[in-house]
A and B are shown apart, each in its own frame.
Chain A
Amino acid sequence: MAGIQVEALHAWYGRDLILKQVDLVFPGKAITAVIGPSGCGKSTLLRCLNRMHELVPGARVAGRVVLNETDIYHYGVNPVEIRRRVGMVFQNPNIFPTMTIFQNVGVGLALAGRQRYRHRQLETRVVKSLQQVGLWEEVKDRLHRTATGLSAGQLQRLCIARTLAVEPEVLLMDEPCSALDPIAAIRIEELMRELKASYTIILVTHNMQQAARVADFTAFISRGELIEYGSTPEVFLRPRDLRTERYITGTGG
C-alpha cells in the first residue's frame, strides 16, 4: 500500500523543537486527518512531508519520511522533485492574482525541468483538472480572464485544480476549509472523498465534525508529539488517551 511512512521525525525552527519523535503511517488512497490544538505542529508536520519546512531559514529536520520507497530526506534527493510529487493546498486560497484562470491551473506544468507541453496537451490537462474539482462548468467561459470575482470556495477549488494538474501522488491539505462558508466547505469535503480513490490525502483540520465525516484515519498531535493514531471511529468513539478524549469532547487539550 503506497503512502507515506514517517519514522522518528523531529523538526526544529531554530532552537525550538517543534515535532518530537513522530512515528506514523499515512496509508495510500485514504484520507488521514491530523487534529490537535493550535500551535501543536500540524502545519509543521505537513511541511516536513513535502520538504517545505526547510525553506524557512534556520529550520531543520531529522528522521525519515518514506514516500513510495523514496526516503525524501535521503542525500541526493532533489526537494523540488519531492514537491512535485507531494502537492499542497493552503488555508487561504493563494491563487496568482495577475494570472488568468487557465494560467493559474497550468502554472505548475510550465515550470522548468518538466517535459515541455504542447499547447493541446496543456489545455487537456487544465481542463481535466478543472473537471476533477467540479469547476469546469463554472469557469469554462472565462478561462482567459483573471480569477477576480470567483467566490472563496471556487478559488480554493481552483487551488486544488492547480495542485492536481501536476499529477502528484499525495495531497496535503492544511485547513483547506477554514476560510470558507459551510456550504463551500461541504463541497470541498465531497471533492476529497472523490479524490481519495486516486490520491493519498492528508488533511489538517480544526473541525472535529469534518474529520469525523471524511477521514478514514485520524492522528491526534499535542505539543509536537503524536498522542494517538487509529481509524477515525476508533479515535473518536474509543480514544485510548485521556488527552485525546479531552480535546475531542472540547474539555481542554
Chain B
Amino acid sequence: MAVKQQRQKMRRPCIDPGDGVLQGLAILSALGLLLLVFLIGLQIWRAAGPSLTRFGWSFIFSRTWDPVAGVFGALPYIYGTLITTLLGLILAAPLSLGAAIFLAELAPRPLRTVLGFLVDMLAAIPSIVYGLWGNFVLAPWLLRFLEPWLGQHFGWLPLFQGPMYGTGILAAAIILAIMISPLVTAISREVLALVPTGQREALQALGATPWEVVRVAVLPSARTGIIGAFTLGLGKALGETMAVTLVIGNRPEISWSLFAPAHTMTSVIINEFAEAITSLHVAALIHIALLLFLVTLLVNILARLLIYRMERGGKDGMMHEL
C-alpha cells in the first residue's frame, strides 16, 4: 500500500500536460453525448405534448387507433414491436452463436476468411433490400410451405392457428432474425477471438476436445461480450423499420397467432407520418416515437445490468458438472 502511494507520488511530476488535455476532451465528449441524448428525448417529449396530456398512461394500454375520431392508443404497435423483436432474437440466437463459434473456433483457416467476409457483407446490405426480398420471396414461401406445415403439425398451439397470409408476425420475425444475425455473428466472432490463447491452451493441455475447449474455456470468458453483441442486435431489431413494414402486413391487431398480420411502432410512424393531418395525430405518432425511445433505453439498461450482475456473480460458470 505504502509502496503504491509512493510510486504514484513519484510519477505525478512526470505527467505530460497533454494527458490532462486529452482527459478533459474525453470527459467533454462523453458529457456532450449524454447531453445530446437528453436533448433529443426532451424534444420528442415536447412534440408529443398534446397526445401526452390528452391520453396520458391510457395511450399505452388502449387498442383504439382512430385518426378520424381523434382517439389514439398504441398497444397493438407496442405489442407488434415487442413480439417481433423477441421472436427475431430467439430465432437469431442459436444461428448467430453457432456461426460465431464455427467461424472463430472450429472452421479451417481459409474457410474462416471467406465465410467471415460473407457474413460482414450480409451485415452491410441495406434493410430495404431485405424487405423487398421478404415481401417477394419469403412471404410467398411462408404462405405456401412453412405456415401450412406449422399449422398441420403444431396447430394445437394457439401460436399456429388462424388464417395464413404469408406476411405477418412470423415473416417479420424471420426477416429480423436474418438481419441481425450477421451483426451479432460478426461481433461475437470478434469477442471469441479476443479470449486469450492461454485459456484455450490450459484446457487443451488437460486433454479437452475442441468442443470442450469452446464450452468450458472460451464461452464463459466471452459471455459478457456476447451479451453485448445481442444487445446491439436487439437495438437494431427494435428500431428496424423498412424491412418490417414490407412484411408485417401493417394491421394494428393483437393476436396469439404468429400467422396474423400486425403493426410495429416504427412501421406505423413511417406509414402515417406523411398523411397525418391533425396535430393530435402527429403528436400521437411522436408519442409512439417517445415510447420507442424509452423502450430502447430500458432494454439497454437491462442488458447492462445483466452484464454487471454476471461480472460480479462471476462464479456461476458454465460448469454445472462441478
Contact = CB atoms under 8 A, between A and B. Distances in A.
A59 B315 CA distance: 36
A99 B317 contact: yes
Given A94-B201, A107-B322, A100 B315 contact: yes
Nearest to B202: A94
Given A80-B207, A146-B315, A98 B221 contact: yes
Nearest to B217: A96
Interface stretch (A3-11, A32-40, A82-90, A127-135): A82-90
Interface in B68-83: none
A145 B313 CA distance: 10
Given A97-B221, A98-B220, A103-B322, A83 B206 contact: yes
B17 interface: no
Looking at chain A's contact residues, is the secondary structure mostly helix, strand, loop, or mixed?
mixed
Interface string A79-123: 011111001101010111111101100111011110000000010
A144 interface: yes
Given A107-B319, A107-B322, A146-B315, A83 B205 contact: yes
A237 to B, nearest CB: 35
A107 B203 contact: yes
A106 B322 contact: yes
A90 B201 contact: yes
Interface stretch (B156-164, B185-193, B208-216): B208-216
Contact of B216 (A50, A107, A145): A107
Q: How large is the interface on A (under 10, 10 to 19, 20 to 34, 35 or more residues)?
A: 35 or more
Interface of A: 50, 52, 55, 57, 80-84, 87-88, 90, 92, 94-100, 102-103, 106-108, 110-113, 122, 144-146, 159, 162-163, 166
Given A99-B322, A107-B216, A107-B319, 17 more contacts: A57-B109, A83-B206, A84-B207, A87-B205, A94-B199, A96-B199, A96-B202, A97-B314, A98-B221, A100-B315, A103-B322, A108-B207, A111-B216, A113-B207, A146-B315, A159-B202, A162-B202
30 contacts: A57-B108, A80-B207, A84-B206, A87-B205, A90-B201, A90-B202, A94-B196, A94-B198, A96-B199, A96-B202, A96-B220, A98-B223, A99-B220, A99-B315, A99-B317, A99-B322, A103-B317, A107-B203, A107-B206, A107-B216, A108-B207, A108-B208, A110-B321, A111-B206, A111-B209, A111-B212, A112-B212, A146-B314, A146-B315, A163-B206
